[in-house]
Structure 1
Amino acid sequence: MPSPVTFTSAGSQSTAAYSSGAPSNLQRAVLKVHKPPQSGGTGQPPGDWLFDIEFQFNPKEFSVSKNAKWGRDAQPNAKKSAPPQFKGSDPAKLSLEMFIDATDKMNDAVVKKVEQLFTCCVATEDSRQHKKPSPPWVIFKWGGMTGFPAYVASVTAKYTLFTPSGTPVRAVCTVNLEEISGELGGQNPTSGALAARDTHVLVAGDSLPSVAFRAYGDAGKWRAIADANDIDDPMRLRPGTRLLVPALEELDG
């Protein structure tokens, strides 16, 4: 079984370092929470955006793992075992820690943030009404890196500091994400676990260059979005249309 890959930020920063003022260009990590597709299919893009769970402090590290399945047929009369056959692969898994601190205000912000994480393990109201209960889909994003569409497999909150009245004001949450099985339509399956496509719903005034600038910081990359969505005429865009936005890694590749 392959070992997980661990990504470590370029230098950990303590709570004191943050309290003294974070750099203005600091990219905050975020879990973007979406509705599951109404069809319930795993090969569909995430549903409408619900809310963001922003990291108060960027994770010091996180790990990504993916396992391949192999099997061998029994060879009772052979001196050697049969060659292994590929049986498929397990979904990618991502594990990270979220540090939450409210010692500056001494309020219930920590409890509320933990409860927000716990809601990601519960079926959404819409999915229950459609008789297809499903928890929300989440995507981990940090700077230019976009994770795979996933569900929150587990959340463990460890409270480490309390007010005299017993209100938790500091916690460390371990969040485990598991890739939604199936591939998004048009997604390159070899693009890697951290190169999943994002989506964008067009609103009045949007253009492909504006969407490209928002996604990549370069309006000139609009052709990649047009190609991914089979758009022949970029001047005829309908508000409400959901676009697949390729990951920057795919463009560079």
Structure 2
Amino acid sequence: MKMVKAKLEEVDGLGRLEFKFNPSEYSVQKSAQWDAPRRSMSTEAGAKPEFIGTNPQSVNMQIFFDDWEAAVGDVTKDVEKLFKWCTPSRKSIGDETPHPPLLRFIWGSNLHLAERKFYLASVNAKYTMFGRTGNPLRATADISLKEAPDPPGAQNPTSGSIHARATHLISEGDTLQSIATSEYGNPNLWRGLATFNDIDDPLRLKLGTRILVPTREEAADGAGNGS
């Protein structure tokens, strides 16, 4: 039986990357978000933490590229495709809702991940072999896929996307654009987050504070009112 190759494929079918070598392993991570009460003189020792929600699933793997057997081998094209998937697609820019394309990880009868939609959160590529003219012949790429939230009304109850009246704890590196991308798949809805939380200066988010995460409709309304 012919070996089935794993691949990453854009949800809209406009692009794909078939792996020349299947991954030897991948890791899947999912976590729950709890808000633990702060201990104080007035706080009971047995105070229970408050459940906030379930975070989206993430998948991490390493892809191996090898083109040394070709007459003029070069793995740059495949690696650059991964980098391109971290930037807004032309179609989304034309629709005035810029965001990177959503992807599916497909590997034969392995349906565990094929039914989910992801965005490519990060790519760390390392070129490890070169031809006589400097052309990259081998490379590895460590990638991180994050599960994309479903549209309101079509949310999979097990997907883990946090929506209505959820909160987000501001941590190092957070921006309203990155939070909007994580929650809605659309960085342009950052204005809705700012409006909903009465944030006057989006460049000054206080670490350790929580902001409310409205529904997508509320964020879109807020973004429209704030523009």
Taking the aligned partners of 1:107 and 1:53, their CA distance within structure 2 comes to 20
Check if 1:94 corresponds to 2:59. yes
The equivalent of 1:119 in structure 2 is: 84
Cα deviation, residue 90, structure 1: 1.6
Check if 1:65 corresponds to 2:34. no
1:55-114 Cα offsets, whole Å, 9 max, x none, are 101000000101111113346324414111111122111111110101111534401111
Identity %: 37
- Structure 2 unpaired stretches of 5+: 162-227
Taking the aligned partners of 2:159 and 2:84, their CA distance within structure 1 comes to 30
The equivalent of 2:9 in structure 1 is: 32
Cα deviation, residue 167, structure 1: 0.7
The equivalent of 1:167 in structure 2 is: 135
Check if 1:56 corresponds to 2:33. no
Could you say if the C-alpha distance between residues 187 and 77 of structure 1 is closer, same or farther in structure 2, counting changes exceeding 3 Å?
closer
Number of matched pairs: 157
Q: Which amino acid aligns with 1:110?
A: V
Paired residues for 1:84-163 under 5 Å:
84-146=49-111, 147=113, 148-163=116-131
Q: Counterpart of 1:80 in 2: which secondary structure?
A: coil
Could you say if the C-alpha distance between residues 82 and 154 of structure 1 is closer, same or farther in structure 2, counting changes exceeding 3 Å?
same
User: Which of 176, 190, 197 lines up with 2:158 in the alignment?
Assistant: 190
Taking the aligned partners of 2:86 and 2:159, their CA distance within structure 1 comes to 28
CA RMSD of aligned residues (A): 2.3
Contact kept, 8 Å, 2:56 with 2:160, in 1: the verdict is: no
Contact kept, 8 Å, 2:54 with 2:160, in 1: the verdict is: no
- Structure 1 unpaired stretches of 5+: 1-23, 35-47, 194-253
TM-score of the superposed pair, with normalisation by structure 1: 0.57
Taking the aligned partners of 1:184 and 1:54, their CA distance within structure 2 comes to 32
Taking the aligned partners of 1:93 and 1:166, their CA distance within structure 2 comes to 35
Cα deviation, residue 157, structure 1: 1.0
Contact kept, 8 Å, 2:149 with 2:155, in 1: the verdict is: no
Taking the aligned partners of 2:90 and 2:154, their CA distance within structure 1 comes to 29
Taking the aligned partners of 1:135 and 1:191, their CA distance within structure 2 comes to 20
Taking the aligned partners of 2:61 and 2:19, their CA distance within structure 1 comes to 11
Contact kept, 8 Å, 1:30 with 1:140, in 2: the verdict is: yes
Taking the aligned partners of 1:157 and 1:175, their CA distance within structure 2 comes to 8
The equivalent of 1:178 in structure 2 is: 146
Taking the aligned partners of 1:165 and 1:26, their CA distance within structure 2 comes to 33
TM-score of the superposed pair, with normalisation by structure 2: 0.63
Q: Counterpart of 1:103 in 2: which secondary structure?
A: coil
